[in-house]
Amino acid sequence: MLSCIQPTGDVHLGNYLGALRNWVAGQHENDAFHGIVDLHALTITEAPDVLGQATLQLAAMLFAVGLDPDEATIFVQSHVPEHSQLGWMMECTVSYGELTRMTQFKDKSAKRQENTSTAEFISAGLFTYPALQAADILLYDTDEVPVGEDQRQHIEITRDIAIRFNHRFGDTFVLPKAVTPKAGARVMDLQDPTSKMSKSANTDSGLVYLLDEPAAVRKKFKRAVTDSDSEVRFDRAEKPGVSNLLEILAACTGGAPEALAAGYTQYGPLKADAGEAVIELLQPIQARYHELMTDRGELQSLLRKGAGKAREVAAVTLARAQAAAGMLPA
């Protein structure tokens, strides 16, 4: 199993309850690889001095939420040069036409064009990104890639690339498939409960970050958008705000949102309890995060170890692909 996360923006409650928590729960049963994909972030990074720090902070967060470097392989993409090397071979296996059909490129480039500060530069890397993502996946003979709906098209193109390569050069790559995690909660924006909580939201008043102080969490829950009647009931369609609060509370305390609803007759106490449950959930994560960040050397050594483990697998796959393509060995 392989999952990857980009070091862009701060990790929020949706990322944790929808993804990271499942990674932690599954780390004992799966042979799991988790990549911090800094080369992908580079497609939209122009400022100096941000990527390394964001990478280190994300690594600390992954360890703080409970990923165990002895169980899972946690690595930084650029520390495993096989990603770039196979990425180029994948660029030569995907067609220009296929890349032009990728909705993520269309969305992200359109978004950059709307913003005056980013409008004039759309990198070629943003366009060829799916080839690098295919390399990420194929290097580990990955069977399953847990992703949200938005990434399904990228897993499909990875399969198409692998099939084409295998057809041209003989059986080389395992065909991966996308899996949607069964237990993941879907956390909505507290200010706009019909949209998912997302780093790319216009304002962050409806986002709860894993590093938010208790006072900030309390305030965000207190101001959460609900509706004008005052019945507490779990109903995503009719009562999105209230249902989101119930779902968050349920995800933190382990109950079921429908059953929790019965315990409330007013919105105020529900907001307060959901806020306190989140504060309690975040407290140990924040404590571990801050402790890990005091020892940069130790974090880097954990990442070096992860990259070493990743390379053991990636180097074998790359060599197999190069041999299949008939490249002269060095």
- Displacement of CA 11 from its chain's centroid (Å): 9
Give 103 or 265: the residue with its C-beta nearer to ligand LTN.
Answer: 103
Place of tokens 């690339």: 161
CB under 5 to 8 A by kind: which of ligand ATP, ligand LTN, none does 198 bind? ligand ATP
CB of 180 to ligand ATP, least distance (A): 9
Is residue 15 a contact point for ligand ATP (CB under 6 A)?
yes
- Residue spans of alpha helices (H) in the chain: 13-15, 21-26, 38-41, 51-64, 82-91, 96-100, 103-114, 124-138, 152-169, 214-222, 240-253, 257-261, 267-293, 296-324
- Of 152, 199, 233, 311, which one interacts with ligand ATP (CB under 6 A)? 199
Stretch that binds ligand ATP, among 27-35, 109-117, 183-191, 286-294 (CB under 6 A): 183-191
Is residue 187 a contact point for ligand ATP (CB under 6 A)?
yes
Size of the site for ligand LTN (CB under 6 A): 13
What track of x and - describes contact with ligand ATP for positions 92 through 131 (by CB under 6 A)?
Answer: ----------------------------------------
User: Which of 106, 111, 177, 199 does the annotation list as catalytic?
Assistant: 199
- Of 1, 5, 61, 270, which one interacts with ligand ATP (CB under 6 A)? 5
Count, residues in the chain: 330
Contact residues for 124 (Cβ-Cβ < 8 A; gap 6+): none
User: Which of 108, 220, 239, 271 does the annotation list as catalytic?
Assistant: 108
CB of 235 to ligand LTN, least distance (A): 30
CB under 5 to 8 A by kind: which of ligand ATP, ligand LTN, none does 186 bind? ligand ATP
- Of 1, 6, 239, 270, which one interacts with ligand LTN (CB under 6 A)? 6
Is residue 40 a contact point for ligand LTN (CB under 6 A)?
yes
Dist. CA 56–CA 293, nearest whole Å: 8
What track of x and - describes contact with ligand LTN for positions 124 through 163 (by CB under 6 A)?
Answer: ---------x--xx-------x-x---x--x---------
Is residue 60 within 8 A of residue 303, CB to CB? The reply is: no
Is residue 244 a contact point for ligand ATP (CB under 6 A)?
no
Q: Which long-range contacts (CB under 8 A, 24 or more apart) does 280-289 make?
A: 280/252, 281/252, 282/210, 282/212, 282/217, 283/214, 285/16, 285/61, 285/64, 285/65, 285/210, 286/64, 286/210, 286/211, 288/63, 288/64, 289/60, 289/61, 289/64, 289/210, 289/211
CB of 35 to ligand LTN, least distance (A): 7
Give the DSSP per-residue string, 3-18. Answer: EEE-S-S--BHHHIII
Is residue 197 a contact point for ligand ATP (CB under 6 A)?
yes
Known catalytic residue: 199?
yes
- Of 112, 152, 186, 218, which one interacts with ligand ATP (CB under 6 A)? 186
Would you give the DSSP letter of residue 161?
Answer: H
Could you tell me the sign of the dihedral formed by the alpha carbons of 82, 87, 90, 91, in that order? negative
Stretch that binds ligand ATP, among 122-130, 196-204, 286-294, 317-325 (CB under 6 A): 196-204
Could you tell me the sign of the dihedral formed by the alpha carbons of 241, 245, 250, 252, in that order? positive
Name the residue whose CB lies closest to ligand ATP: 18
Q: How far from 318 is each of 109, 142, 205, 273, 309, CA to CA, in Å?
A: 31, 14, 45, 51, 15
Catalog residues that contact ligand ATP under the rule CB under 6 A: 5-6, 14-15, 18-19, 148, 184, 186-187, 196-200
Catalog residues that contact ligand LTN under the rule CB under 6 A: 2-4, 6, 37, 40, 133, 136-137, 145, 147, 151, 154
Catalytic residues: 108, 196, 199
